[in-house]
Amino acid sequence: MKQKVFTVYAIRFNATLRKTTRIFYGLVVLAMTFSCLVWPSQSYAQSNSPPHLNNFEGNQRQSPGPVSGTAKNAERCEDLQAENGSEICAQWAAVRAAQESANAASWTLYVSAVGLFLLVLTLFATAYAAFAARDAALGLVQSERPHVRLFTTIKTKDKLGRILSTQGVTFKNFGRTPALIRKLRISYVLADGPPDPEKESAFERIYPDDSVIGHGETWPYKGFVPQFQGRTVNDLIKIHKKTGERLFVFGKIVYIDSFGKEHYTRFCREFTGRSFTYNRNDVDHQKNLNYAT
């Protein structure tokens, strides 16, 4: 069962991680598409073509088309120098270099912006995955922690099943990990109404570090929690049957889980003639009587 719970949380975490990854890659594709649409398309021929020279003898010289490489630039510069002088060639080379520098700077800035955007997306995806992992871990811890509750009433019976005496109650760990009992406050009392475990006084006992309740085990081992002071449980039951007074067991048990966190369970049960159990009329509706953390 423990493995099954862990598998369920692992499946949920993997599904969340896959969903986050799909969203991240979708945003990356969207950013790349945006870059293709927005980036200004310029003709390579236009960026490499020299300006029209139409002020010399009515001749108009145009660029021969797309060229590339140092040899082509040198050849064009030689043609311009032969026709218009070295000064025109130098100006054209300077303008072209400035244009290429500006284009390179713009491209670098754009790539940096896209990179920063993708970095922010990565950080958000990582943070989301970390929070999902934390929630899965907390859920696993919560499912594995101990839960100590008042369990049953211990009675002595004859061979025919008739109750001879009632000794007390026991507790049980319904969780998946051991619980270390720190202290227990408990009393069996006759009263007109259910006593409040937080307000009414009860006998308190501190337990040593070896008072551990394992998974699915009852406590005390092979025994019960008796009345620590005052009339015994059997005496109180006799008075209850004779006078009709209501008989309760109430108190608070404090324990620590395997992770060092403290928990407690408040309880208040009424004797119904055979055992101590919930009274649906006035017990279940009050969280101060029966409450657990």
Q: Supply the pLDDT for residue 6.
A: 43
- Dihedral sign from CA coordinates of 160, 165, 167, 170: positive
Instruction: Sort strands 212-213 and 179-191 into parallel, antiparallel or unpaired.
Output: antiparallel
pLDDT digits over 80-102, tens only? 555 555 566 677 677 777 777 77
pLDDT digits over 113-151, tens only? 877 887 887 887 788 788 778 777 777 777 788 999 999
Cβ count near 225 (within 10 Å): 22
Q: Supply the pLDDT for residue 54.
A: 42
> Rounded to a whole number, what is the distance in angstroms from the first to the last CA of the chain?
23
Q: Mean pLDDT across the chain, nearest whole number?
A: 75
pLDDT digits over 32-59, tens only? 665 555 554 444 444 444 444 444 344 4
Residue 285 confidence class, pLDDT cut points 50, 70, 90: low
> Mean pLDDT across the stretch 264-293?
81
Q: Supply the pLDDT for residue 1.
A: 45
Q: Supply the pLDDT for residue 42.
A: 44
Q: Which residue has the tokens 């799909």?
A: 22
Q: Supply the pLDDT for residue 53.
A: 41
